[in-house]
Amino acid sequence: MLDALTAYLKSNQTPGQAGSVLWAFIYILLIFVGLSVAVIAMNWLERKVLAHMQVRLGPMRVGPHGLLQPIADALKLLLKEDIMPAEADKFVFWVAPFIVVLTAFTVFIVVPFGPTHAVTDMNIGILFMLGVSSLSVLGIVMAGWASNSHYPLMGALRSSAQMVSYEIAMGLAVVSAVLMTSLNQTGSGTLSMIGIVQAQQAQETWFIFKFFPLGLIAFFVFAVAMVAETNRAPFDLPEAESELTAGFHTEYSGFRWSLFFLAEYSAMIAVSSIAVTLWLGGWLRPFPHWLSGGTWDLVFSFFPGITFLGLAGIAFYSTVRMPKHVYFRIQTMGLGAFAAALGLVGILLFLPPVRDRIQDIYWFAAKVAAFMYLYIWYRGTFPRYRFDQLMKVGWKVLLPIGLGVLMLTAVAGVFL
């Protein structure tokens, strides 16, 4: 048992390549836990960031600065009565949220958090991701149909139309990135997620800067399409609150609803991971060639620790600013403990063995976090597109741009 564990650690491969079922399981567990924590954190962050954009405070009551709000929400959702409409198609209604969650989590099998930090390195990784994530539309259509109600049905219709049309633009942008991988020394392209990042490493540039501005435009097409793909503002028509109350999950409540919620946020993380992997160098640190050398490596390796210390600093500053009233004593202590925990993690991350192992994951997570912030920002800024306008943007703007970029990339790849 122990041998099986340690043998893998020396192999320098993903568990899938090494054929280690045990480690694959451990990775899956880690990713599942990490994702759940990320979704909880995202839930809190979205409410806080959005609130601060909108000159309000957001959750402040449950725990210091509302830190326990997501947990309270999760508890509430789990304890709620599980309502199934009398007229609903019971089985389909029951199975739909599971399909959505399943697809949202399955894609993380191939997401490379580091050169060896993926459950497996599939040679068709990116195709697998796109394929599986597009299956989620099935769950949404099923949810809308099974609810046997007008609003969910319309939400589901909108959603399926939207996801199908934006997948094409998304696919074209992805293909242009895949084309860029074929420009390495061996001349053979790759669809493997790890291979794509390694191609960026070998070509000494992130694909967003490749064939400027082609990479940038492809990235832009993908960045727009991925927001539409995940049904987020300004493309949140399927769940347009002001029009369709809650869209396809109007009839869902409690635990089933929370599954949709979980799926939406993990899908956001999934598509952001694709964007990061394809265009932003995946786990590579910024400026690997411009700021190269041992000193710079050392400086950049301090970043994870600095980030956590910074967060600890913010938490500590908030602790000091807590009201001095006796009623707030427990909250203040809790926030202080949270700050201390963050600080401890920060200090741990400065230790050389931890520092070196956490590097890849840190940079990947940091880039994904930037996308998450963008998602919140969009939501705070943009009104919602109308259905026909959404289709127009998808088919008449993004698709031609994607096609053009694809062709130009091919041409550039041959001649440059």
Partner 1 sequence: MTDATKYVSHLELGEPDQTFLDSNELIINMGPQHPATHGVLRVILKLDGEKVLGTECVIGYLHRGVEKIAENRTYTMFNPYVDRMDYVAAVSNGLGYCEAVEKLLNIQAPPRANYVRVILTELNRIASHQLWLGTHALDIGAITPLFYTFRDREEILKIFERYCGARLTTHAFRIGGLQYETYDGFEKDVETFLKFVAPKIDEYEELLTTNRIWVERTKGVGYISGADCIALGVTGPVLRASGVKWDIRKAQPYANYSEFDFEIPTGQNGDTFDRYIVRMQEMRQSLRIIEQAVGKIPEGPIMAKVPKVMKPPVGEIYHSIEAPKGELGYFIVSDGSTQPYRIRVRPPSFVNLQALDLMVRGQLVADVIAVIGTLDIVLGEVDR
CB nearer to partner 1: give 237 or 358.
Answer: 237
Is 83 a binder of partner 1 (CB under 8 A)? no
Radius of gyration of the chain (CA): 22
Is 385 a binder of partner 1 (CB under 8 A)? yes
Is 294 a binder of partner 1 (CB under 8 A)? no
Q: CB 94: neighbour CB atoms within 10 A?
A: 14
CB of 53 to partner 1, least distance (A): 6
CB of 385 to partner 1, least distance (A): 6
CA atoms within 13 A on the CB side of 290: 6
Is 89 a binder of partner 1 (CB under 8 A)? no
CB of 88 to partner 1, least distance (A): 18
Q: Which residue has the tokens 């094409």?
A: 168
CB nearer to partner 1: give 225 or 233.
Answer: 233
CB of 380 to partner 1, least distance (A): 5
Is 379 a binder of partner 1 (CB under 8 A)? yes
Sequence-distant contacts of 296-303: CB under 8 A, at least 24 apart? 300/359, 301/355, 301/356, 301/359, 302/350, 302/355, 303/362, 303/363, 303/366
Q: What is the DSSP letter of 246?
A: T
Distance, CA of 152 to CA of 201 (rounded, Å): 46
Is 85 a binder of partner 1 (CB under 8 A)? no
Nearest Cα residue to 104 out of 244, 243, 258? 258
CB nearer to partner 1: give 47 or 117.
Answer: 47
Is 236 a binder of partner 1 (CB under 8 A)? yes
**Residues from 239 through 278 that contact partner 1 (CB under 8 A):** 240-243, 245
Angle at 105 between CA 100 and CA 110, to 5 degrees: 135
Is 202 a binder of partner 1 (CB under 8 A)? no
CB of 133 to partner 1, least distance (A): 24
Residue from 2, 55, 79, 414 touching partner 1 (CB under 8 A): that is 55
Is 87 a binder of partner 1 (CB under 8 A)? no
Residue from 54, 123, 188, 292 touching partner 1 (CB under 8 A): that is 54
Taking contact as CB under 8 A, which single stretch among the options 71-79, 125-133, 183-191, 238-246 is the one that binds partner 1? Answer: 238-246
CB of 381 to partner 1, least distance (A): 7
Q: Which residues, in sequence order, are CB contacts of 191 under 8 Å at separation 6+? A: 123, 124, 125, 126, 127, 178
Tokens linked to 366: 């940091």
Nearest Cα residue to 390 out of 226, 166, 171? 166
CB of 366 to partner 1, least distance (A): 26
CB nearer to partner 1: give 52 or 90.
Answer: 52
CB of 157 to partner 1, least distance (A): 8
Amino acid in the structure at residue 50: L
Contact mark string toward partner 1, 387..406, x via CB under 8 A: xxx-----------------
Helix locations, 111-253, DSSP H: 125-134, 136-146, 150-181, 193-202, 214-229, 241-244
Is 386 a binder of partner 1 (CB under 8 A)? yes
Is residue 301 within 8 A of residue 356, CB to CB? The reply is yes
Nearest Cα residue to 276 out of 193, 348, 388? 193
Q: Which residues, in sequence order, are CB contacts of 398 under 8 Å at separation 6+? A: 166, 169, 221, 224, 225
Contact mark string toward partner 1, 133..152, x via CB under 8 A: -----------------xx-
Taking contact as CB under 8 A, which single stretch among the options 51-59, 96-104, 108-116, 252-260 is the one that binds partner 1? Answer: 51-59
Is residue 241 within 8 A of residue 297, CB to CB? The reply is no
CB of 317 to partner 1, least distance (A): 25
Is 233 a binder of partner 1 (CB under 8 A)? yes
Q: What is the DSSP letter of 385?
A: P
Q: Which residues bind partner 1 (CB under 8 A)?
A: 50, 53-56, 150-151, 154, 158, 233-234, 236-237, 240-243, 245, 379-389
